[in-house]
Amino acid sequence: MSNGTANQASTVAYQVMWNRLISVVEEQAQALIRTAFSTSVREAGDLSAGVYDTQGRMLAQAVTGTPGHVNAMADAVGHFIRRIGYENMFEGDVYITNDPWEGTGHLHDITVVTPSFHNGKHVGFFGCTAHIVDIGGRGFGADANSIYEEGLYIPIMKFAERGEFDKTLQMIIRGNVREPDQAMGDMYALATCNEVGHHRLVEMMEEFGLENLSGIAAFILENSHIATVERIAALNNAEADGEMRIDGYSKPIDLKVHLEIKDDHILCDFAGTSGLDKKGINVPLVYTQAYACYALKCAIAPEIPNNAASLAPFKITAPENSIVNALHPAPVALRHVIGHMLPDAVYNALDKILPNTVPAEGAGTLCNFQVSVRPRTDEQAPPEAVRAEVLTFNSGGSGARPSVDGMNATAFPSGVMTMPVEATEHTGPVIIWRKELREDSGGSGKLRGGLGQHMEISAREGHEFDFSAMLDRVDHPAHGRQGGQSGAPTVIKRSDGSIMKGKGKQFVPHGQRVIMAFPGGGGYGEASERDPELVKRDLARGYISSTTAKRDYGFSDQEIAAIVEAAQRGESI
Amino acid sequence: MTQSSIRMGVDIGGTFTDVVLEVGEEQFSTKVLTTYAAPENAIIDGMQQVCQLADVQPSDIGQIIHGTTLATNALIERRGAKTALITTQGFRDVIEMRTESRFEQYDLNLTIPEPLLPRQQRFILNERVDAQGNALIPLAREDVEALIDSIKDAGYESIAVGLLHSYLNPAHEQLVREVLADKMPDAMVSLSCEVSPQMREYERFNTVVANAYIKPLMKSYLGRLEGQLKQQGVDCSIFLMHSGGGIISIESAAEFPVRLVESGPAGGAVFAANIAARYGLDKVLSFDMGGTTAKICLIKNQTPKTSRVFEVARTYRFKKGSGMPISIPVIDMVEIGAGGGSLAHVDAMRQIRVGPESAGSEPGPACYGRGGERPAVTDADLVLGKLDPDNFAGGSIQLHTDNSKAALETVLGNTLDMDALTAAYGLAEVVDENMANAARVHAVENGEDLADYTMIAFGGAAPLHAGRLCEKLGVDRLLVPAGAGVGSAIGFLRAPFSFEANRSVYMRLSDFQPNVIRQLLTDLETEATKFVRSCDADAEIISEYKAYMRYSGQGWELPIALNKAQALDPDATVFRQLFEADYISLFGRAVEGMDIEITVWAVNATTPTELVEPVEVLTGSGEAAGNKTDVSPASAEMSLAEKKRTRTLFDPALGNSVEATVVLRHDLQDGQLVEGPAVITEDETTIVLPSSRQAIRQSDGCIDVRTKS
């Protein structure tokens, strides 16, 4: 071997250790999914896990989970260090919080941090976050006027000291939430997953004979920093503005973005964005940072793993008490409704700097709703009628990309999954009558926007329900890019034809269904430039109607009839 | 099992068709190139070769056991029949909408895999069964007739029927079959309540569609194979290996061809389980590494771990979620894109990355000298001294070390400021670490600590990497069996007749209904036994019972094994104890005061695995091969001194090169000891013995590698 063998060899060892740490946090996340109780964690993957050095710098984060926790998790451990103090940290400690501003944006996210000790010395931290289904208060929804109505607040504190879990804290939590077993089960699952990570870290340190993580931390952070800065430096310095208007709760909201690419970093500022909403759709800055940063990373440095150094060059700011930098005590329970829209707003600016890179606007916000079912009250309910809370996650269509159609009924930017209908119908007395693609909902264009979906839900015979809607794009559909057309807007109504609102809790009487059509993504480029083969395929599959084929893509009646007939013969087109 | 002492195992793989003929104690094997257009031709060719080797006639063969990747490949390459899906109104797009999520979070141009059937081949019926199994909207026969009248002239060869909650109430699906039999008698029909009676519509519908899609193809292939064999004079039963590690009749295979998916790797796991039994090992990690992928499987108590769902045809770097789920009983393994042909590059973080892209056989790794310019795992192995350039694949392929060095330097070395050797070291360490990580995660997911496991390695590339993998995993013992190159086909010959029947039925321990459980498990047992009986009319049949349990509210079940008494005389307290014991061993602590629920029940009917002759383990008290000139007791006549050769081998654990003894596997005698560092070579592969290990040849030809004391 050549000279510098020792250095070269240690580079190989560090490469192995970096891989290992990423595998450790993935495993930490898997342990959480397997032991968690809330559907939001175990079915939908609304969680995050990471490993940190003693200074609280994030070294690796699991890619399992959702982008909403990206920066929030990177910052969280710093807050724990400041609040708890190194001098009060002992082996066997576990810390906890659901502070929206020092955790991940709303009271429903529980963050648990565990210091890691090796040979009696403090060597780092493990942190994880999960969305639990209930934290008391009004219940999960947009209707609160301040954070105090949204549920129990747990400041940064010890969940366990030297291995002893705090009984008082547990009694307070149990006494304040609707599903105490489930909430405690999830909190223990969070502690367990950190433990799993810790054991694997210690094994690695023993294998490589490490006393501390400073060497590997420096290696990870330096390489990530160099790689990220290289990507940014490869872009020309430039500035651009973007904006997007969405429904909001009581009035429409304008999201305004100013982007500035400057040498080795990117500034993203939300000055000019609407102020706070009265209801719980406001966003703490950590969550704004997470989604804005996620959007930029996807477009500029997608394959660089998340850690303190790879996130640092993305600087996200917003004026205080704008809707994207809500301060205490603003209500923030549904901060995701606005947060999920931020990437589209950021892309409206970035498209001016980096053409042919970012997608058209899409559904953005997940099309979620929570159903509180109970025995009917208008008449005598049958004896077997019960109460239940049923939460579902669903997706509209994503925006068309410069060279690919948008994705049908697929979450973007959120990273969560939907729940199987058969599983949902086992959790409570509800029937989902329809869950399928929505024809003609993707914006026409050279590349078509992704299709939204139809959903219909009712309670079982003998029940009525409150329907808590968390939908947007009712009045503001996803716009196309470069001449592409808009996707279809959200539609929500009752089966008797009465109109329902996109947000807030609404009563649905016995025998009524809620009928929804979730939005499609915007198209990309002029529809006239679309490959006719793709139009044929879309028509054969019923992604578009004959009307659209004729109006937007100029197909003749004869051509349309031939395709429809071929499709009826089951020909794959 | 049939009594004839001559049995043949056949494994059709992506590149080679392996044929093993077992005549009494003796084995004769060959590899022939797979003949894609008519896969039966390769079998006939291989059969003639082994019969000649063994000097027997095809008509002497008493039993043939067959496994194949044809089903998997048909799904990957979308070469199935014209198929329609009939489903519940409102749910036409279940197989297309999948989980509504992205399996890769940071790729803006991600495309979601297309479903097996496009939308115009999916049809709906106005009917609905609820989560309790009641018909909310009864299915009208006229509706079914009208639908089938409208599609019967479109030329569908195969029909899949998947209706909501049919795992609880199959009546509607059965009615559709009745009408189909009447109106489309030539179409093949698959019902989701039979192919995969499990909750979760996406998995169940996708599984029944996959079954229907490949059914005509597999049925026709199996028919041709039977005919051709008969022409050759073969007059014996033919059985198929299934993905759960057992064998089923050719008729069952034609009815449920989706159960043949991944039958080759399942045979590999059975092969390893058999070796484990021979050595009395209760905790084994099987490691199978070929040209493009590595497969890792846990084998406890000589039984491979099984699972209820797995994913085929991953479209995106083997990434979880990028394929299609198939929910059938299957041997649970992790497969990662790491094989001899896996290619390396340097990413944006100046990190070496290996695979899943593979050099394949054309152009192959750079060292093949066929125009490959990017370094593959085999190139690193060559530069590190693990391979002999002049004796690769029995000398049939000349390897070019210079090409490997050039590729390593160009692609890795120049960017990372490393010489070829260090780059090779880095590449090999990364691929070994990838495999070790996959094994670790798999073990942790199953609550196992690998430290007390033994590894069994087979497949062409595994013995080159197994030693280092053991070092990384803290595994002290490694067995490299004889015949490792055709391990899967040998595994087929060791597999029992078996069939697993399962069903989703929810029950909470707080509402425990022993009578319902007893009836359900008895029904499942009858169903599973029927399949096994169709293979063998009088064999002893053992039933294995399982309940999938979790705390109410959790999403992941643990499979809890029940013995006959626990299954047929069920008791809630016992169920709780069994579940909590497993939960604690997996996650550290039980969750107090929480109700427990059972979601799925399964019964596996199986013939007993054949008794194995235990190997008397030789401890290698003899002399070390190659290192000493003395003769070992087991080989009084042989003097290895004459054959003593060494070559330079890089030892990654030490971080430097060492002089390694070169030993021919052929020359080793029973009980003979080889001290690491050493390489033990044979035609198909090379066993690399790191400095930390020593090896002993056992009486069954296994090389038994252990940590030096």
Which of residues B396, B430, B464 is at a domain's end? Answer: B430
What pLDDT score was predicted for residue B624? 52
Whether residue A332 contacts residue A282, with contact meaning beta carbons closer than 8 Å, is answered with: yes
Q: Which residues in chain A have Cβ-Cβ distances shorter than 8 Å to B353?
A: none
- Enumerate residues 6+ apart whose C-beta is below 8 A from A375: A381, A382, A385, A386, A387, A462, A463, A464
**Contact residues on chain A for B111, CB-CB shorter than 8 A:** 404, 407
CB contact under 8 A, A42 and B554: yes
CB-based contact, A182 to chain B, within 8 Å: yes
The most confident of B204-218, B530-544, B572-586, by mean pLDDT:
B204-218
User: Greater confidence, B320 or A82?
Assistant: A82
pLDDT digits (tens, 9 = 90+) for A466-487: 999 999 999 999 999 999 999 9
Average pLDDT score over chain A:
93
Residue B633, domain member (yes or no): yes
Least confident window among A125-129, A547-551, B253-257, B321-325: B321-325
Q: What is the spatial distance between Cα A236 and Cα B220, in angstroms, rounded to a whole number?
A: 61
Q: Domain range spanning residue B401? A: 342-430
pLDDT over threshold 70, residue B447: no
* CB atoms B418 and A185 under 8 Å: no
What phi and psi, each to the nearest 5 degrees, are found at residue B329? -65, 130
What average pLDDT score do residues A309-325 get? Answer: 96
B628 or A190, greater pLDDT: A190
Asked if B555 and A303 come within 8 Å (Cβ–Cβ), the reply is no
The Cα–Cα gap between B62 and A270 comes to 78
Across A277-281, average pLDDT: 94
Q: Is the pLDDT of residue B517 over 80?
A: yes
Q: By the CB < 8 Å criterion, does B446 face chain A?
A: no
How many whole angstroms separate alpha carbon A51 and alpha carbon A194? 9
Residues of A in contact with B320 (CB under 8 A): none
Length of chain B equals 709
The percent of residues in chain B predicted with pLDDT above 70, rounded, is 94
Q: Within a 10 A sphere around the Cβ of B122, how many other Cβ atoms? A: 27
Of the partner residues B105, B136, B154, the one whose CB lies closest to the CB of residue A415: B105
> What is the reported pLDDT for A276?
96
Percentage of chain A lying above the pLDDT 70 cut: 97
Q: Residues of A with CB below 8 A from B434's CB?
A: 19
> For residue A44, what pLDDT is reported?
67
Q: How confident is the model at residue B622 (pLDDT cuts 50, 70, 90)?
A: low
Cα(B471)–Cα(B428) distance, integer angstroms: 14
Is residue B319 assigned to a domain?
no
pLDDT given at position B630: 42
Average pLDDT for residues B263-273, to the nearest whole number? 92
Band (pLDDT 50/70/90 cuts) for residue B74 is confident
Which band of pLDDT confidence, cut at 50, 70 and 90, is reported for residue B631?
Answer: very low
Per DSSP, the residues of B599-615 read EEEEEEEEPPPPP----
The confidence score (pLDDT) of residue A524 equals 98
Q: Do A416 and B101 touch (CB under 8 A)?
A: yes
* pLDDT value for B662: 94
Same domain, B595 and B657: no
CATH code of residue B545: 3.30.1490
Q: Which of B90, B202, B556 sits opposite A34 (nearest CB)?
A: B556
Q: What is the pLDDT of residues A409-422, one digit of tens each?
A: 999 999 888 989 99
Residues B600 and B630 in one domain: no
Q: Which residues contact B670 (CB under 8 A, 6 or more apart)?
A: B618, B634, B697, B698, B699
**B578 lies in the same domain as B651:** no
> Nearest C-alpha of chain A: how many angstroms from B91?
6
Candidates A415, A431, A436; nearest CB to B130: A431
Mean pLDDT of chain B: 89
Residues of A in contact with B92 (CB under 8 A): 436-437
- Quick check: A458 contacting B, CB < 8 Å? no
Q: Residue B576: its pLDDT value, please? A: 95
pLDDT of residue B556: 76
In a domain, B177, yes or no: no
**Residue B597 shares a structural domain with residue B511:** yes
Residue B49 CB burial class (10 angstroms; 0-12, 13-18, ≥19): middle
For residue B651, pLDDT beyond 90: yes
Any CB–CB contact under 8 A between A169 and chain B?
no
Res B161 pLDDT > 70: yes
Residue A477 per-residue DSSP state: P
CA distance A400 to chain B (A): 9
Q: What is the ipTM of this complex?
A: 0.93
Query: Given a cut of 60, is residue A220 above it in pLDDT?
Result: yes
> pLDDT value at position B3?
43
With an 8 Å Cβ cutoff, are A415 and B102 in contact?
yes
Is residue B21 very low, low, confident or very high in pLDDT (cuts 50, 70, 90)?
very high
> Residue B195 and residue B181: Cα distance in Å, rounded?
18
- Asked if A317 and A267 count as a contact pair (C-beta separation under 8 A), the reply is yes
Average pLDDT over residues B92-118: 94
What is the identity of the amino acid at B614? P
Per-residue confidence (pLDDT) for residue B633, from 0 to 100: 44
Q: How many CB atoms lie within 10 A of CB B491?
A: 32
Cβ of residue A571 closer than 8 Å to a chain B Cβ: yes
What Cα–Cα distance (Å) separates residue A361 from each residue in A81, A438, B114? 39, 17, 23
Answer whether residue B79 shows pLDDT above 50.
yes
What local confidence, expressed as pLDDT, does residue B4 receive?
54
* CB nearest B92 (choices: A26, A185, A436): A436
Based on the fold, state whether residues B582 and B636 are members of the same structural domain.
no
Local confidence band at A275 (pLDDT 50, 70, 90 cut-offs):
very high
Closest B-chain CA to A179: B553
pLDDT for the residue B625: 52
Residue A34 with chain B: CB contacts under 8 Å:
445, 554, 556, 587
| A17 phi/psi in degrees, rounded to 5 | -65, -35
**Chain B from 190 to 249: CB within 8 A of any A CB:** 199-202
Cα B619 from Cα B656, distance rounded (Å): 30
pLDDT tens digits, B383-441: 999 999 988 777 777 899 999 999 999 999 999 999 999 999 999 999 999 999 888 87
pLDDT band at B316 (very low <50, low <70, confident <90, very high): confident
Last-in-domain residue among B200, B229, B260: B260
Nearest to A402 by CA among A358, A343, A344: A358
The pLDDT confidence band at residue B505, using thresholds 50, 70 and 90, is: confident
Residues 549-578, chain B, touching A (beta carbon < 8 A): 551, 553-556
- pTM, two decimals, is 0.90
In chain B, which residues have their Cβ closer than 8 Å to the Cβ of A573?
118, 120
Closest residue by Cα to residue A519 from A337, A394, A356: A394
Same domain, B601 and B664: no
Residues B503, B588 within the same domain: yes
- Domain assignment present for B231: yes
Q: Which of A565, A327, A440 is nearest to B154 (CA)?
A: A565
Confidence of residue B643 (pLDDT cuts 50, 70, 90): low
pLDDT band of B639, cuts 50, 70, 90: very low
Amino acid at B677: P
Kindly tell me if the per-residue pLDDT of A6 is higher than 70: no
Average pLDDT over every residue of B340-365: 84
Q: Would you say residue B641 lies in a domain?
A: yes
B184 lies in some domain: no
Nearest CA distance, B99 vs chain A (angstrom) = 5
Q: Do A408 and B96 touch (CB under 8 A)?
A: yes
Distance CA A209, CA A232 (A): 36
Q: Is residue A5 scored above 50 in pLDDT?
A: no
Q: Is A304 on the interface with B (CB under 8 A)?
A: yes
Distance from CA of A525 to the nearest CA of B (A): 16
Residue A522 has pLDDT above 70, yes or no: yes
- pLDDT at residue B645, as a whole number: 86
- Does residue A2 surpass a pLDDT of 70? no
Is position B91 within any domain? no
pLDDT tens digit sequence for A395-454: 999 999 999 999 999 999 998 889 899 988 988 899 999 999 999 999 999 999 999 999
B693 within domain boundaries: yes
Q: How confident is the model at residue B620 (pLDDT cuts 50, 70, 90)?
A: low
Structural domains of chain B, count:
4
- pLDDT tens profile B271-290: 999 999 999 999 999 999 88
Q: Are A282 and A330 in contact (CB under 8 A)?
A: yes
Instruction: Report pLDDT for A283.
Output: 97
Give B637's pLDDT tier (boundaries 50, 70, 90).
Answer: very low
